[in-house]
Chain A
Amino acid sequence: MNPGMNSGMAPVATPWFFYVLAGMAVISGGLVITLRNAVHAALALIVTLLSVASLYLMLYAPFVTGVQIVVYAGGIMVLFLFVIMLVNIERSSKEHRFNRIWPAGLAAACALLVLFVSAFVKGKALFTDRGMPLPESSNTQQIATMLYGEAGRMGQYTFAFEIASLLLLVAILGAVIMTKKKI
């Protein structure tokens, strides 16, 4: 998976793209958890989602990029902004940002970070590139075959797709009922 050294096709991206996009994602992720205003934090999260979508594009996953931009940045974040405007009272932007027990949370997260770093340093041999060739047919078509195809041979996720649609129905019903004034 070396975007600069492909066999046949022109290189898609240089490593500079990766570092810029990864820096954008991590910096705006840091802004999400530190900004005082909730609307600013939502906008920073939108920047994070879009840079992660661009990273998917570098990983040769155009369909997941499209789904992320349309559903995540275009649907879920709009929902967040609506709710922020519904519950955004002036008092919350003047209060202290962090919890009473923030040192404990920060220590736990630092322990998690140390765990990740040690896993990456010790297990570096597990993540070697296998030099996979670029996909032949269209990415969307292959994902569609896996999702909607005949169950058993080609469509391995048809049943999971139906369950996911049922999950969305239940979630919509729950959200509507919970926000009614009188059930």
Chain B
Amino acid sequence: MAPITTLHYLVVGAALFVLGVVGVLIRRNVVIVLMSIELILNAVNLNLVAFSRMWGNLHGQVFAIFIIVDAAAEAAVGLGILIAFFRNKETVNVDEIDLLKW
């Protein structure tokens, strides 16, 4: 079996990224859209850590830690928005969140 190179990890990262993009664009449930955004961030983290190993320094890993911190803040704020909206209109369907439509 061939040794595992950086390209293998990049392919896994790309696959997770595309799955996250599909989830954001396709799903109706807002919570699952937010979870797909977390998938995208994880794909980027995997790329960063793979490149950190390829170059031999730790900048990629520190950047990945900051991205995890940022993902926590963004998940908290996004879910707060969702709860505040759910209090107005009892739905989690993206097709029914159309109060700004003409």
Contact = CB atoms under 8 A, between A and B. Distances in A.
Interface of A: 1-5, 14-16, 18, 22, 25-26, 29-30, 32-33, 38, 41-42, 45, 48-49, 52, 55-56, 58-61, 63-64, 67-68, 71-72, 75-76, 79-80, 83-84, 86-89, 92, 95-100, 102, 104-106, 108-109, 112-113, 116, 120, 124, 127-130, 132-133, 139, 142-143, 146-147, 156-157, 160, 164, 167-168, 170-172, 174-176, 178-179, 181
A16 B87 CA distance: 48
A88 B93 CA distance: 11
B84 interface: yes
Interface string B8-50: 1111101111111111011111011011101100100110011
Contacts of B31: 38, 42, 80, 83-84, 87
A179 B92 contact: no
Contacts of B14: 113, 116, 120
Given A18-B8, A71-B72, A42 B1 contact: no
The interface residues of chain B, by DSSP majority, are classed as helix
A4 B3 contact: yes
Contact of A127 (B2, B17, B54): B54
A41 B32 contact: yes
Interface residues of B, number: 75
Interface of B: 1-12, 14-23, 25-29, 31-32, 34-36, 38-39, 42, 45-46, 49-50, 52-56, 58-59, 61-62, 64-66, 68-77, 79-84, 86-87, 90-95
A39 B28 CA distance: 15
Contact of A83 (B53, B59, B83, B93): B83
Contacts, number: 250
Contacts of B72: 71-72, 75-76, 168, 171
Contact of B35 (A80, A108, A116, A143): A80
23 contacts: A2-B5, A14-B1, A22-B8, A26-B15, A29-B39, A32-B23, A33-B27, A38-B32, A49-B42, A55-B9, A60-B53, A61-B64, A64-B45, A72-B71, A79-B79, A99-B27, A120-B11, A160-B66, A167-B73, A168-B72, A171-B74, A176-B80, A178-B80
B61 A61 contact: yes
